[in-house]
Amino acid sequence: MPDRLARWVTPEIRFALAEQCGLARRTGVQAREIEIMRIRVCRVNASTAEASLVLKDGDRARAAAIRLEDVSGRWLATALDIG
């Protein structure tokens, strides 16, 4: 999965996602469908935005935060935190 996201995330985020996917694969955790319940976006300046998300993961609700920056005319995720 991280390879599909490579265009939209920094190499550090891609590496962290690849590690998590590898760990999940080794422990036998099955991928589940995640539903986005709510998104709030805040424009920090002309080239930066931050978003908070509420995700439904089975019976649980999770929070996620992402920072997006305009890099060479495209949005790039420079920070990602999922709780």
Structural domain span for residue 58: 2-82
Question: Is residue 76 a contact partner of residue 9, using CB atoms and an 8 Å limit?
Answer: yes
Q: How much is the pLDDT for 57? A: 84
pLDDT single digits (tens) 59-75: 889 999 999 999 989 89
- What rounded mean pLDDT belongs to the chain? 89
pTM for the whole thing?
0.77
Dihedral pair phi/psi, residue 33, rounded to 5°: -75, 130
pLDDT in tens, 5-27: 788 889 899 988 888 888 888 88
**Coil, helix or strand at residue 12:** helix
Structure tokens at 54: 């509420």
Q: CATH number, domain at 16?
A: 3.10.450
pLDDT number for residue 21: 82
Q: How many domains does the chain have?
A: 1
Place 1 in a pLDDT band, splitting at 50, 70 and 90. Answer: low
